[in-house]
Amino acid sequence: MLHRIEALILPVIALSCASAARLPPRGEALNDRPVIGILTQEVTDPNLQQYGRTYIPSSYVKYIESGGARVIPIRLNQTREQHEKIFRSINGLIFIGGAVDLETSDFAHTAGIYFRLALKANDEGDYFPIWGTCLGFQLLTVQVAGKNLLSNTMANNIAMPLNLTSEAQSSRMFASFPPELFKALAEEPLTGNFHHYGVTEQVFIGNEKLSSFFTVLSTNEAKNGAVFVSTMEGKKYPFYGVQWHPEVNRFQWHPQYTFPHSKNAVHVSSLLAQFLVNEGRRSSHHFSQPEEESQALIYNFTPVYAANFSGYEQIYFF
């Protein structure tokens, strides 16, 4: 089943649980120069392949940078050895939204490499977070369940409050939210949704692998009445997923799309970016040489102005 979550935003591109990940030893300094990897995704429109074969919307890059980290793009179709070297060099990873197959695409295949590396690392006490947004959220469910469990849960170009579960208040993801913002999250349309498919609450809870791996933090209702899981976090692993798009609240502005820009929406986006980066600070991975790090950073690439053919202001092509 193909994912069509960002068909509006970018119309022309369109396990068993093991030991818990451990905190850094008491007294060990956190990493104040975190680098977060963003996995690139295939360009599906032939007309845009003149720019490159893969892409990352700049909103994801700005989102991470705003949280206090730097970004490296992770290209597809590298060797496993190259990916393992990248993994040892970065402090966290994002799976972005998009419109590729969750099982057969190069994006999904490469994500699987990093997912398994992250599982092993965390099991060995080597803290490493992963965040999935929209398609990335769904990709995490496929990696854990071992199969595609998506169904029609259309919530396309709409902002909604979250139906928070009882576990949300004690979650890691929302721990830094002040009470008034946490309350607003459940009452105001602070989360932008741009998807056709998702995992229903019934299917999620009914799948033993998913329900034992992730805690459901929120649900939402689709256009057809189906209730889907919209926010989750790992019970033992620092893996997080949102079916909605926190990055759009501050970094996407196309007037045809329902990007939440209220004061509270901006605050939600800011706190979640800081949360992910702070998770990355707990990773001790690093590049072997400063020059190698400098050459890998996103600063070496120039984004393309894209507002005239997409819902993004800028896109990095590779």
- 45: tokens are 């429109």
| pLDDT value at residue 224 | 98
Q: What is the pLDDT of residue 28?
A: 58
Q: What's the N-to-C CA distance of the chain in angstroms?
A: 26
Give the pLDDT of residue 70.
Answer: 98
CATH of the domain at 62: 3.40.50.880
DSSP, res 313: S
**What integer is the mean pLDDT of 219-238?**
98
The predicted structure's pLDDT at residue 154: 98
pLDDT exceeds 70 at position 19:
no
Task: Report the chain's mean pLDDT, rounded to a whole number.
Answer: 92
- Indicate the residue type of 45: D
**pLDDT one-digit tens code per residue, 142-156:** 999 999 999 999 999
Which residue, chain included where needed, has tokens 């992730």? 214
Is it the case that residue 8 has pLDDT exceeding 80?
no
**pLDDT tens digits, 36-90:** 999 999 999 888 899 999 999 999 999 999 999 999 999 998 999 999 999 999 9
Residue 20 lies in a domain: no
What is the extent of the structural domain holding 161? Answer: 35-317
Gap between the Cα atoms of 233 and 131, Å rounded: 9
Mean pLDDT for the stretch of residues 178-191? 98
Task: Give pLDDT tens digits for 235-257.
Answer: 999 999 999 999 999 999 999 99
Please give the pLDDT value at position 46: 86
Q: pTM (2 decimals)? A: 0.92
Residue of 75, 83, 90 lying closest to 40 (CA atoms): 75
Question: CA-CA distance, 230 to 221, in Å (whole number)?
Answer: 9
CA–CA gap between residue 83 and residue 104 (Å, rounded): 18
Does residue 289 form part of some domain? Answer: yes
- Please indicate, yes or no, if residue 87 is contained in any of the structural domains: yes
Q: Is the pLDDT of residue 270 over 60?
A: yes
Q: Write down the catalytic residue from 3, 83, 195, 245.
A: 245
| Number of domains comprising the chain | 1
Q: What is the average pLDDT across 294-312?
A: 96
Active site residue 245: yes
Q: Greater confidence, 215 or 7?
A: 215
Domain contains 23 = no
Residue 262 has pLDDT above 90, yes or no: yes
Q: Report how far residue 232's alpha carbon sits from residue 39's, in angstroms, rounded to the nearest whole number.
A: 20
Angle between helices 58-66 and 263-280 in degrees, nearest 10: 80
* Residue 16 belongs to a domain: no
Residue 104 lies in a domain: yes
How many helical (H) and strand (E) elements, i.e. helices and strands, does the chain have?
Answer: 10, 14
Query: Does residue 169 belong to any structural domain of this protein?
Result: yes
Ramachandran assignment for 43, one of left (phi > 0), alpha (psi -120 to 50 degrees), beta (any other): beta
Sole residue written with tokens 């989102």: 63
- Calpha distance 75→115 (Å, rounded): 16
Options 134, 195, 267, 285, the catalytic residue = 134
Flag whether pLDDT at 6 surpasses 50.
no
Exposed/middle/buried for 65, CB within 10 Å: 0-12, 13-18, 19+? middle
**pLDDT at 116 (0 to 100):** 98
pLDDT at residue number 10: 47
